[in-house]
Structure 1
Amino acid sequence: MVAGGGMGPDDEGISFAHALATLKEQGSALLVVGTVPDEMFAKASATMLGDPAADPPRRRLVVTPEPNRESAVRRLRETGPLSSEYARLITRGEQARSAAAGGASLDEVTPRTHVIDGSIHELGTTIADVIEEFDLFAGGLDPAEFRMGFECLPTLLSAHGRETAFRFLHVVVAQARAVSGLVHFRLPRDVDAEVVRLFQPLFDATVELRIDGGSLDQRWHFRDRDITSDWLPVGDPT
C-alpha cells in the first residue's frame, strides 16, 4: 500500500496518509477494481499481502481459481514464509488437488493448499477455519497481521448470482474484521460499473487500478471519508 505523496495540497496528502494508517491500525476490507491483466493485479495484491521482512511475518491466505494457482503461490512465496502457520492457499479442482498432495511434504516450497470441490458454504467454512487456525498460531492476531487476497468474486457471481455473492462477502468480511485483518477482493470491472456500486458498501475503500504508459497506478476511494487520492504508482508493501 502506498502511504502519502503525490496528493497535491499538503493537507490532502496528510488526510490520505492518515486514512491509510487508520485502515492498517483497525484492519480493513478493500475492493480492488479495474480491468488490468492478471499479472498486474498480482503485483498490487502482493503489496497488500505485506512486507516479506515484517516482524512478525504476516499470516497470508490467497483464495484463487485454479488457473491462477501458480501466480498465487509466487505471491505467497514473495511475501513471507510458506510454512502452514504463515501461508495458506484455497483453490478448487482435481489438478489443484494433485498439486496440493504432491507438495504436502514440501512446506517450505509449496504452501498448504485447501482444495474446494463443493458448495459456497464449504468455501466460507474453509476460510473461517484458516482464520481461526492463524489466530491460534499467533496466540491472538495483531491488527493487520492477517492478510487475505480473494480472487473468486467473478466466479461466485457467475455461479450463484449477485444476492448470494453479496451475502457471502458480508459474512467473510465480518470474519476478517473480527481479527482486524487487512483483506482485499478483486472485481475486474470499471469503478463506475453497476456491480461495483452494489458491493462497495461492504468495503472500507475501493482501490482502482489502471495501466498508464506501462506503469501500474492505483487510486483510492474511501467509503466513510470524503477522500479520493490522485493516481499513484503501486509501491512498496506494508
Structure 2
Amino acid sequence: MFSETDRRGGPDDAFIEELSRLKRQGASVLVVGSTRASQQTETCRRLLGHAIERPRRRILVSTAGGTRDVFDVVSERTADRLSVITHDVQTRSAAAADSSPISAIPETSTSTDSIVDLGVAISSAIENLETAADGLEPSELRIGVDSLLPLLEEYGRERVFRFIHLTNGRTRDAGGMIHYHLPVERDADIAPVLSPLFDVIVELRERNGVSQERWSLKGGTLCSGWISTTEV
C-alpha cells in the first residue's frame, strides 16, 4: 500500500515496519472522510489488494444502495475467491448511498436482515474461503464493508460497536485485513467512539483537486502525513 522507496516526507521506517507487521498478523482499518465516490472506490480497491500479484480471497459487504457495480472494486467472479454479502436495513442515509463503493450486487450474493445474521454470514464466508484455500496465508483474506452509517442508524452505537469488535476478531484469527467506510469527517462525534476498535485509521480528503490520504497507526503515534493517492 505504501512504496518502500522515494517516500519524500511520507511514512518513515517505523511506520512502514508497523504496517508490515499488521499486514502479517491481521488488521482492521477504518476509512473516514466524506469524499467523492471515485476516491472511496479507489481506496477500497487498494485495501482489497487489487494491485498485488498474489492470490487473494475477498468478502464484500454491502449496506447501502447505489449504482456502482461490485466489480468496480474486484475482478474475481468465482465463489472460491469472492463472497458477497448484502445487508438490507430500513433506514438508509443519503450520505451512505452516495459514498458507497460496493453496490449493484450479483444475484449470487448472501442476504441478511439483522446485524446478528450479518456477523454470522461474514464468519461463515471466512470459513468457506479458508476451506477452499486449504488454509489462508497472512494477508490473503481481504474484507470490505462499504458503509457503517446504515448500521449505526438502524442499530445504534452499542450494537454496531459489538459487531465490529467480534468481526475484527474473526478476521484477525484468519490473518486477514478488514476495512469499513465511515463517510463522515474525522472530527464527527461517532469517529472517536469507533476508532479504538481499529489498528489503522485512513483519512480521506481532496485539496486543490488532488485526492489525499493520511494513515494513522497505534492510536495516532505513527502517522503517514497527507499523501497524494498517486504516491500510495
User: TM-score, length-normalised on structure 1?
Assistant: 0.82
Query: Using the alignment, how far apart are the partners of 2:175 and 2:184 within structure 1?
Result: 27
| Structure 2 counterpart of 1:75 | 73
| Structure 1 counterpart of 2:161 | 166
127-136 or 220-229: which moved more?
220-229
CA contact (8 A) 2:59 2:142 kept: yes
1:61–1:137 Cα change, 3 Å: same
| Structure 2 counterpart of 1:228 | 223
Are 2:39 and 1:43 aligned? no
| Structure 2 counterpart of 1:114 | 110
Are 2:144 and 1:149 aligned? yes
173-182 or 209-218: which moved more?
209-218
Q: In structure 2, the residue corresponding to 1:91 is in which secondary structure?
A: strand
After TM superposition, which residue ranges in structure 1, 4 or more long, deviate above 6 angstroms? none
Q: Give 1:2's aligned amino acid.
A: F
Q: CA RMSD in A?
A: 2.2
Query: Using the alignment, how far apart are the partners of 1:133 and 1:6 within structure 2?
Result: 42
1:131–1:236 Cα change, 3 Å: farther
Q: How does 1:16-31 map to 2 (within 5 A)?
A: 16-31=15-30
Query: Using the alignment, how far apart are the partners of 1:186 and 1:209 within structure 2?
Result: 10
Q: In structure 2, the residue corresponding to 1:186 is in which secondary structure?
A: strand
Q: Give 2:9's aligned amino acid.
A: M
Q: In structure 2, the residue corresponding to 1:54 is in which secondary structure?
A: coil
Alignment: residue pair count: 215
CA contact (8 A) 2:32 2:183 kept: yes
| Structure 2 counterpart of 1:2 | 2
Per the TM alignment, residue 19 of structure 1 is displaced from its structure 2 partner at its CA by: 1.9
CA contact (8 A) 2:26 2:176 kept: yes
Identity of aligned residues (%): 30
Per the TM alignment, residue 6 of structure 1 is displaced from its structure 2 partner at its CA by: 3.2
Per the TM alignment, residue 225 of structure 1 is displaced from its structure 2 partner at its CA by: 6.4
Q: Unaligned 5+ residue runs, structure 2?
A: 89-103
| Structure 1 counterpart of 2:13 | 14
Per the TM alignment, residue 99 of structure 1 is displaced from its structure 2 partner at its CA by: 6.6
| Structure 1 counterpart of 2:121 | 126
CA contact (8 A) 1:3 1:16 kept: no
Q: Give 2:225's aligned amino acid.
A: D
Per the TM alignment, residue 159 of structure 1 is displaced from its structure 2 partner at its CA by: 0.2
Per the TM alignment, residue 39 of structure 1 is displaced from its structure 2 partner at its CA by: 2.2
Query: Using the alignment, how far apart are the partners of 1:58 and 1:222 within structure 2?
Result: 24
| Structure 1 counterpart of 2:57 | 59
Q: Paired residue for 1:138, among 108, 128, 133?
A: 133
1:135–1:76 Cα change, 3 Å: same
1:53–1:29 Cα change, 3 Å: closer
Query: Using the alignment, how far apart are the partners of 1:32 and 1:99 within structure 2?
Result: 21
CA contact (8 A) 1:205 1:223 kept: yes
- Per-residue Cα deviation, 1:74-120 (whole angstroms, up to 9, x for no partner): 2122xxx3211111211145xxxx9744xxxxxxxxxx41122x211
CA contact (8 A) 2:87 2:118 kept: no
1:65–1:180 Cα change, 3 Å: same
Q: In structure 1, the residue corresponding to 2:139 is in which secondary structure?
A: coil
Q: Unaligned 5+ residue runs, structure 1?
A: 102-111
Per the TM alignment, residue 23 of structure 1 is displaced from its structure 2 partner at its CA by: 1.7
Q: Give 1:22's aligned amino acid.
A: R
